[in-house]
Homo-oligomer: A and B are copies of this chain.
């Protein structure tokens, strides 16, 4: 069994945790590790979302929590698409509080080159919060590939994976999880389609000799 006994996934918006690391979270849970979910932004009436949509979002979140069997769930409920206008020191403090509470050994975060500014800010804040002298319990930080955001924005920089996790046995279950986000998925050629998610996994499998894989970029690992 792997050494990362507490895995924390950080999603800028609900569904990023499933898109980026759904298979790996299921695999780690099955192997007996504990898994945690920290979500950063949320929707509410104040931002012009109607009641019904907000309620449905909450149902999705609850369903996902149950589906994965998360051992802990946190939601900062910050305003979607508006992170750039918030004091970064405050966001870092809130993330650090969750880090200190969970004491995760592996933290999974969005990438610094994603198209969405919320993703890039969450990357920066997590990196600041995860400095080794502040959070010595963190033994690995990786970015995830989140289809429809990763590699949709920057021109010279690209997601360069260096960690491949075999999710052959979890492939179908990851797709089932994605179906819970019925409002977020569509048919090919939409990137957040079940076919496309599966194609990505098969492609990454070709880099690591397994049928299906998820890919991550290790920013820091300590042994």
Contact = CB atoms under 8 A, between A and B. Distances in A.
Interface of A: 2-3, 80-82, 84-89, 92, 112, 115-117, 124, 127-128, 131-133, 136, 143, 147-148, 151-158, 160, 162-166, 188-191, 193, 195-196, 198-200, 202-203, 205-211, 217-223
B132 A209 contact: yes
A-B residue pairs, 9 tightest by C-beta = A81-B89, A191-B206, A199-B199, A199-B202, A132-B209, A208-B222, A155-B219, A136-B209, A127-B153
A71 B163 CA distance: 28
B188 A219 contact: no
Contacts of A218: 162-163, 218, 221
Contact of A148 (B84, B131, B191, B195): B131
A221 to B, nearest CB: 5
B222 A112 contact: no
23 contacts: A3-B3, A81-B92, A82-B88, A84-B84, A112-B155, A131-B148, A131-B152, A132-B208, A132-B209, A133-B190, A151-B207, A155-B217, A155-B219, A163-B220, A163-B221, A164-B223, A165-B223, A196-B203, A196-B206, A199-B200, A200-B203, A203-B203, A208-B222
State the copy count for this chain: 6
A219 B207 CA distance: 12
A147 B155 CA distance: 20
Given A148-B133, A164-B223, A115 B89 contact: no
Contact of A80 (B89, B136, B147, B153): B89
Nearest to A117: B88
A206 B198 CA distance: 12
A81 B88 contact: yes
Contacts of A81: 87-89, 92
Contacts of A156: 156-157, 160
A150 B87 CA distance: 21
B221 A164 contact: yes
A172 to B, nearest CB: 16
Contacts of A210: 189, 222
